[in-house]
Structure 1
Amino acid sequence: MAQSWADLPLGRVIRLRDAALDAVELSLRPLPADAPAVLVYHPRPARTTAELVSAVLTELERAAVQLLPAWLPGAEPLDGPAGAGVAAVRALAVELAATTGHFGPFLADLAERALRGSGAGTARFAPEVRAAELAKVLAASYGRGGAAIVVEVPADLDQAAQRVLGAACEWLAAHGGFGVWLTGAPLPSAERIETVRFPLPEHLVEVVAQTPPTPAPVVPPTGVVTYPPVEGRPDPNSAAEKALEAALAKVAWAVGRIWNRRFEAYPHYIIDLQWRAERCAVEIDGPEHRGPRKFEHDRRRDVLLQLDGFAVLRFTNNQVMTELDQVLSHLERYIRNKRDDAHKE
């Protein structure tokens, strides 16, 4: 039985016992201190192992692109998809590879694609190279020593699809060094896979015991990899968080904001956006927040925040994306009022 995330193996395929996907995802936000970098993959149908492996590698590459500059120190001030910016980011990547054991050409191509925001990617490299390098890049993004993929096994796979999924998982573990941890439906074609009990964090034990699992409609589309935000940055999975940060970066009153940082008094909770001095916590809610376990988790965190003197302001993804001016106005009024009150004291 695994007592902590550190007990779950890398470089192998295992099945997590008693691990509903929503509980796993709640456990990963924030990423536990003893966990590797953990991503979640929702498989799409594939006819062959090679096809599925290619699809997973493409998704992992997309994640790595979105996570720059977390894995490439010094890249943050570089902008512009051409000219000096591309040359500089490639040089940074080659320099990093020389000191870390990364494969320089792969890292340079990946860094260039991240800066350009498009392009052919790294498909010119062998799948084995892509898998091994992406595992290193993803681990480095979170300052971890390895990477794992939680794979949610669909309930409706026929025997051929089960064999393809099982073989692809074993390939990723063998060639990328990923821990591949299965949840969801059984995978009869992989009966030899060890089952390990999921180390549910203590603060979620009561939430999971008292609430039903999240219904299927809030699960992302098949073929998608999701992953925790890097602390201090907007969530790359969230278009709303990225759009809000782009707007906040242009206004002076937003100084002091912190994205996706642990709640200091209760570090097993994370706050989407906060202004600590003004005791303002902002939550940007997507459809997954309607699930019963996520709702209860949020409720408990909000109570603790309020007891610690925070106001909790909630906006939906849709509000941010379609009513951004109103959201900014609301935040500005609140922050300015708190600062005015502080000056009067």
Structure 2
Amino acid sequence: MAIIEAPTLVSVIMSMLQAIEAVKIKTFPEWLPAARALTGGDSSPSATAVAAIHALALTEAAHSQHYGPYLADLAVAAFLGQPLAEDRFAPEIRANGLARLVAGSGQPVLVVTVAAAFSDDEEPTAIGAAQWICGRVGIGVWFVGKPLAATQDLLLMTAPPPPASRPPATRPPQSGSCNVVAPDRPAPTTGRPHPTSDSEQRLEAALQRCDWASGRAWNQTYRRGPLSNVIRVDLLWPHEKCVVEIDGADHRRSKKYLADRRRDVDLQLDGYAVLRFTNEQIRDDIGAVIIQIEHLVRARRGNTEAQHHVG
């Protein structure tokens, strides 16, 4: 059971993931049978026993598709009877790990209690989080409490099989939906964030941990034709024709706002998709920003590949 109120997309996703993890913690060691001999004692867990649980989980992962660091940390948390630290793994890594743990267990359902303070404007956040959980973890999501007008009672979606490859053993970011790539294999990029822009630096640091973010280019110029004005874009995926703009407070002024709209229209007429984020969004909710960019890039990348295949 998860309870959500005043949500952001990442916070709702994390609440749902933690609720699923809580069930797995309670059912330990069913999903790690080799640990049964170390559980059930009345005394406080010793450091030796904790190390043994950790080693057993890593051994299990080495002979399966489980991601070792996540399985080991979840096993230790379950052994100690405490939740997994929220900032230990990014949502996508937790979801991939849970998808493997719930595989073959029928059609489990997560019951989500929506608080009365939950506004109608926040419904898309709840629905988006439920769809993300259904698709990544492979379980149903059932909303109870305050009705959500835009949803059916039960959301059941077919989950794709867990990916065969495992993410590397690096500490992931606190939020966002990124697969973490090894430090010695940074996501390819062209150009650099502006050295005086904290928002661009923050976003690039987050994107470096995302395997889907390759092919991006910072601070590029674009011109529709020889008689058109040059457009400088903050962040661009040229192949997918995705543009991300980061707006400071000056972009709210009338002239700047109108100029931005004209730029967006010019780009859209040439087939580009444009996302705009404020400095505050980058600073306060980078995880939600990353998720939105990922959805756009993956969707455009899929359409491009499909068109290439048809051609």
Q: What TM-score bracket applies, with the shorter chain setting the length?
A: 0.3 to 0.5
TM-score, normalised via structure 1 length: 0.38
- Higher RCO structure, 1 or 2 (CA under 8 Å, sep 6+): 1
Larger radius of gyration: 2
